[in-house]
Amino acid sequence: MKCSQGEGFSNGELQRFGNIELSPSAGVLNYGQGLFEGLKAYRKEDGNILLFRPEENALRMRLGAERMCMPSPTVEQFVDAVKATVLANKRWIPPAGKGSLYIRPLLMGSGAVLGLAPAPEYTFLIYVSPVGNYFKEGVAPIHLIIEHDLHRATPGGTGGVKTIGNYAAVLKAQSAAKEQGYSDVLYLDCVHKKYLEEVSSCNIFVVKGKVISTPEIKGTILPGITRKSIIDVARSQGFQVEERLVTVDELLDADEVFCTGTAVVVSPVGSITYRGERVLYNKGGVGAVSQQLYSVLTRLQMGLVKDNMNWTVELS
Ligand code: PMP
């Protein structure tokens, strides 16, 4: 789909996957005017397909577009385009329980612009790829390192929207962490350097007894759709959930820690390394709360239980 600045998107068309042409002075290439989304389609036992809360991705893209001075598709256009793309790629969706189809909507300033300004034209496209289950054999813990010098977001910046530049900002710390054998990096706030923000591509939760705490959304953290869903799931399972400032000290003293995101779903954290010290959770294994929330959410996403939350959209 394409549109000019100040106009709405007209409905798009399906095209074979391939390279796209851009002017060297496209807004997205020069000034980072780009946003993306990520969601998954699961195949059910009966062959039908389930999307998980696609309208939430549409709304998040619309909020991001406002911050990035871009027009964006309506919620209806976004969801219809996702459905059409998924149905056209039905054959690539793995069988029930064997993975999912990852869906990547992308909005960019594709028009040419030389001086710093919003691009005159925009392109919205969606591509898909089959992916395996994040955990091949049951849930397994991930290992994080806390980064205190580099930051992914600053107050007043773009950390709260899913713009491409946020991911460029994490590449250095994330590559270094992976080289040292960690799964990913946990970022702190850049002012006090003591409050938790999030991981490069997922949100974080800290469990102490029956209380689950997660950093509140205040512009520097991406409002994850899995985060929002897990808050509701946890409350429905009898936990008290608090969205507030969470300190590193609380994290290191927690009973259990887990991350949430479309890719990682619910990932228990086995250890956190902070200033050279490593803290283990559940002896480096999987905590009961993470396991419980993972099971409830994935069964709902895969259509193995009745969707009382009304979160899934079924396609056939
Ligand atoms: N934080 C960041 C920075 C992310 O990239 C993602 C993945 N979209 C998340 C959190 C989790 O968001 P969601 O649950 O919507 O996938």
SS (H, E, C) the chain: CEEECCCCCCCCCCCCCCCCCCCCCEHHHHHCCEEECCEEEEECCCCCEEEECHHHHHHHHHHHHHHCCCCCCCHHHHHHHHHHHHHHCHHHCCCCCCCEEEEEEEEEECCECCCCCCCCEEEEEEEEEEECCCCCCCCCCEEEEEECCCCCCCCCCCCCCCEHHHHHHHHHHHHHHHHCCCCEEEEECCCCCCEEEEECCEEEEEEECCEEEEECCCCCCCCCHHHHHHHHHHHHCCCEEEEECCEHHHHHCCCEEEEEECCCEEEEEEEEEECCEEEECHHHCCCHHHHHHHHHHHHHHCCCCCCCCCCEEEEC
- Centroid of ligand 1 to alpha carbon of 92 (angstroms): 24
Mean pLDDT, residues 269-298 taken together: 95
- Evaluate if residue 135 carries a pLDDT over 80: no
Q: Is 162 a catalytic residue?
A: yes
Residue 136: per-residue pLDDT:
64
Residue among 40, 83, 90, 162 flagged as catalytic: 162
- Centroid of ligand 1 to alpha carbon of 35 (angstroms): 13
Q: Over the chain, what is the mean pLDDT?
A: 95
Question: What's the complex ipTM?
Answer: 0.99
The model's confidence at residue 196, banded by pLDDT at 50, 70 and 90, is: very high
Q: What share of the chain has pLDDT > 70, as a percent?
A: 99
The model's confidence at residue 141, banded by pLDDT at 50, 70 and 90, is: very high
Question: pTM of this prediction?
Answer: 0.96
Query: What are the tens digits of pLDDT across the range 10-62?
Result: 889 999 999 999 999 999 999 999 999 999 999 999 999 999 999 999 999 99
Q: Is the CB of 38 under 6 A from ligand 1?
A: yes
Q: Is the CB of 262 under 6 A from ligand 1?
A: yes
Mean pLDDT, residues 137-146 taken together: 87
- Centroid of ligand 1 to alpha carbon of 316 (angstroms): 27
Q: What share of the chain has pLDDT > 90, as a percent?
A: 92
